[in-house]
Every structure is written in structure tokens, then in C-alpha cells.
């Protein structure tokens, strides 16, 4: 289990993190979200032992960060860090050896990972000869091949086409099934909502959201209604408690000020007779992210 206990970090007068705490269990994925400068990178640097917090601590199975713990961490950085002029196989062998895995064991695994991640190229090629997407998949091999217990992915889907992004998603979910403890950051809330068991949002170093994706969404109530019926926009505008209305292809997307307003809309829909769609849902994680981000400017 990964435990982050009340960590704070300042750089001069700037408070990069303020009393951040969370736990990630084995076989669990946590999505770390926030705008640029929110504190995500500082969090990762502390987790990786690259800097110490001013207050609080980080524990991996009750152990502080040391060489043994670091060998159990697989880290995929946002800025890829491989050697473009070095042969792919040579650097995979070298980097896995730095994590304590014998070259003989790593060598046995490379062909499997090349096939698994559908890499278009040979292991004897120099990295620079591969496309950007295939280079990222080589970086993923480096992250996973020494079979780490903890995985940290910083913007893993950045720049990937839909096919390669799905390969990355499948790989992350497979690692979860193996019981790995996983934390990742992404600006794509669809990925966060799809993959995460829990989510934590930072804003200016402060934790502003924390919990399961379901609980975070339910905090705001079921204030979204999707409607396809005989009601017109003018009919809807007469109903008190409707905040916003958007229409696309005959379907209204309605934002309510209070979930209870949904009952009034449904009553009027039913009074008009048959209808094609009425569904009332909580805000999406994308909408919540935008809402919390806007609070910083109010």
C-alpha cells in the first residue's frame, strides 16, 4: 500500500503542496488531476524520492523511500527519457538492470513485450528510427519489464492516437489485475473516469476533491437531464430551477440548480404524452473539473 501522509512543500513563498494525504491499495488505481501548476509534479517527485517534503511522509508498505523501494517503482514520465541513438534492446537491458533485474531475465521478456504492445520495429533498431507512438511504447516496456509493485504514470496518453491509447489503457488495467498499486495523472477526464477507482484533485497545492469517482460525482447531485420529448426550449425556460440548456440533434442537455427540479420536468414531459428520452445523471468528471478550476478565479 502507498500512503501519503500530510505532505507539504514550499518553494520560497510559493506553497506547492499543503497537507496532501491519500492512500492507494494494491490492485487500485488513483487518478491525480489538476491544472498545470496544481502540485502534481511535486507530488510525483516526492514519491520518487527526488525531493523531500517540508512536512509529512510517504510510505510504501510502511517503508520510507530507499533504494530497495525505488527498485519496486515503475515510473513513466510525461517527458520521455530514453536515448534516441541507442539500440532499443540495449537500453531496456540497461535500465532494467538499474532496477535490480538481471540482464538474462530481461532479455527473455523483450520479444513478448514487443509483440504485446504491437511495436513496429526491431529490438536491434535505434530508438530514433521508430515513430513517436512506438517510442512511447518502448518507454512503457521500460516502466513495466522489471515487474514493479508500484506504478506511477505521468500523462501516459499524451500524444497517442486512439489505437495506441487503448494499448496503454489495457496495459494499465492488466497491471491493476495483477495487484499493482497505480497512480496516474491526466488532463483527459474521460481516461480518469474510465480507469480510476479513486480520484484526487489539486488546485494551487490544496486538495479540493478526493474520493471514489462515483462519490465525487454524487457530491453535486443528479443535476444533469438529457431529454428528447415534445417539450420545447420555451416550455423548459418556464420551469424554475433550470440553469442552462443546450440542444444537439433534438436532444436537450439541461443543467439544474437542484436535482428535485427533475421531477417537475418529468411531470411536464409525461403530460405531453410519449417521449423518446429522459435521463437524470450527476455531472461528469470533466464538468466537475471545470467547475472546481473556475472557483479559483471567483
pLDDT in the model for residue 158: 87
Block means of pLDDT (10 residues each) for the chain, length 298 residues?
96 94 96 92 95 95 91 91 92 95 95 93 92 93 96 92 94 97 94 94 93 90 91 90 91 92 92 89 89 68
Domain regions of the chain by residue span = 2-211, 221-281
pLDDT in the model for residue 274: 86
pLDDT in the model for residue 201: 94
pLDDT in the model for residue 291: 83
What is the assigned CATH class of domain 221-281? alpha beta
CA-nearest of 207, 210, 92, 45 to 196 is 210
**Residue written as cell 462515483?**
214
Cell reading at 117 = 504492445
Kindly report the CA angle at 10 between 8 and 11, in degrees rounded to 5? 155
Measured in whole angstroms, the distance separating CA 298 from the mean position of its chain's CA atoms is 26
Would you say the CATH fold of 221-281 matches that of 2-211? no
End-to-end Cα separation, the chain, in angstroms: 38
How would DSSP label each residue in 103-137? HHHHHHHHHHHHHHTT-SS-TTSBGGGS-HHHHHH
Residues 6 or more apart whose Cβ sits within 8 Å of residue 249: none
The CATH fold of domain 2-211: Rossmann fold (3.40.50)
Do the bridges between strand 55-60 and strand 2-11 make them parallel or antiparallel, or are there none, so unpaired?
Answer: antiparallel
What 3-state class would DSSP assign to 174?
Answer: helix
Q: What would the pLDDT profile of 230-277 be if each residue is shown by its tens digit?
A: 888 999 998 999 999 999 888 999 999 999 999 999 999 998 888 899
Burial (CB < 10 A; 0-12, 13-18, 19+), residue 59, is middle
pLDDT in the model for residue 296: 56
- Alpha carbons within 13 angstroms on the beta-carbon side of residue 53 total 26
* Residue 74: its H or E element: strand 73-76
Amino acid at each position: 500500500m502507498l500512503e501519503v501522509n500530510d505532505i507539504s512543500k514550499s518553494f520560497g513563498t510559493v506553497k506547492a503542496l499543503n497537507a496532501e494525504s491519500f492512500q492507494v491499495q494494491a490492485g487500485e488505481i488513483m487518478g491525480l488531476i489538476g491544472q498545470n501548476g496544481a502540485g502534481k509534479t511535486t507530488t510525483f517527485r516526492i514519491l520518487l524520492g527526488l525531493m523531500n517534503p517540508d512536512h509529512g511522509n510517504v510510505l510504501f508498505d510502511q517503508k520510507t523511500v530507499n533504494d530497495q523501494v525505488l527498485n519496486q517503482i515503475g515510473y513513466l514520465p510525461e517527458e520521455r527519457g530514453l536515448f534516441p541513438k541507442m539500440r532499443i534492446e540495449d537500453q531496456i537491458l540497461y535500465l532494467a538492470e538499474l532496477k535490480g533485474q538481471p540482464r538474462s531475465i530481461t532479455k527473455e521478456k523483450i520479444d513478448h513485450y514487443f509483440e504485446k504492445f504491437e511495436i513496429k520495429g526491431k529490438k536491434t533498431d535505434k530508438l530514433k528510427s521508430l515513430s513517436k507512438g512506438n517510442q512511447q511504447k518502448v518507454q512503457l516496456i521500460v516502466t513495466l519489464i522489471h515487474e514493479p509493485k508500484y506504478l506511477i504514470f505521468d500523462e501516459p496518453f499524451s500524444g497517442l492516437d486512439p489505437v495506441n491509447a487503448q494499448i496503454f489503457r489495457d496495459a494499465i488495467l492488466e497491471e491493476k489485475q495483477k495487484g499493482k498499486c497505480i497512480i496516474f495523472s491526466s488532463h483527459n477526464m474521460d481516461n480518469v473516469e474510465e480507469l480510476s477507482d479513486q480520484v484526487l484533485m489539486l488546485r494551487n497545492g490544496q486538495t479540493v476533491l478526493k474520493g471514489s469517482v462515483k462519490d465525487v460525482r454524487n457530491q453535486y447531485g443528479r443535476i444533469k437531464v438529457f431529454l428528447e420529448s415534445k417539450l420545447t426550449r420555451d416550455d423548459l425556460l418556464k420551469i424554475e430551477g433550470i440553469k442552462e440548456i443546450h440542444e444537439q440533434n433534438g436532444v436537450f442537455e439541461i443543467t439544474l440548480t437542484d436535482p428535485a427540479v427533475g421531477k417537475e420536468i418529468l411531470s411536464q414531459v409525461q403530460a405531453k404524452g410519449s417521449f423518446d428520452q429522459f435521463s437524470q445523471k450527476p455531472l461528469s468528471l470533466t464538468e466537475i473539473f471545470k467547475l472546481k478550476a473556475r472557483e479559483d478565479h471567483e
